[in-house]
Amino acid sequence: MNSIKILQILKQDYEARFFQSITFLGLFKYAFFCIGFRVVVLYRIGCWMNERSSHYVVLRLITMLLKNHLLIKYSVELSFVYPAGPGLVLPHPHNLVVGRGARLGSNITIYNGVTLGALRTGDSDDCNNFPKLHDHVTVFTGAKVLGDISVGSNSVIAANSVVLKSCPSNSLLGGVPARLLKLDKTKHD
């Protein structure tokens, strides 16, 4: 991800969050006063630095400090291994865990208290044992998405659900363990 690409992705993150075109004043205002957007900006910077950290020891150190800053100040543990697609929205970024192998598509909305991680403790070393969220997925407060599963495009995961199995596109998941509550076959990907 080069510098121009990160700016384009941040522009799409901004427009997805605030439903308006980006302006310099708006970017400055929301980067400093909107916690959710600030966390997304720091996450994008961390992903950019992580890609270059194998070449520069100083960047590796700064990336670790940035990760610790997000964890201590915002209670957000985001992995910089796989950058999320453009349009990432974190309305209330508190107590949020995105494991190091989790893959996020574009236009993903994640609320507070969400965990996207491995199913078992020993699985966290293998990046293949994490969930994959396709495009236009919304994960509501307190939901847990665990294991090597895939959540289809245009899906919604209800609050406090525990998703352990893959689901198709255009689905509504809820419950513990989560089950398919609704499948909208009229929508197309």
pLDDT the model gives residue 33: 80
Name which of 31, 12, 28 is nearest 20 in CA terms: 12
CA distance 33 to 118: 33
Average pLDDT over residues 184-188: 69
Nearest 5°: phi and psi at 64?
A: -65, -40
State which fold the 3-181 domain adopts: UDP N-Acetylglucosamine Acyltransferase; domain 1 (2.160.10)
User: In whole angstroms, what is the distance from residue 94 CA to residue 76 CA?
Assistant: 6
Q: How confident is the model at residue 10 (pLDDT cuts 50, 70, 90)?
A: confident
Task: Assess contact for 24 and 75: CB atoms under 8 A.
Answer: no
Supply the pTM of this predicted model.
0.86
158-178: pLDDT as tens digits? 999 999 999 999 999 999 999
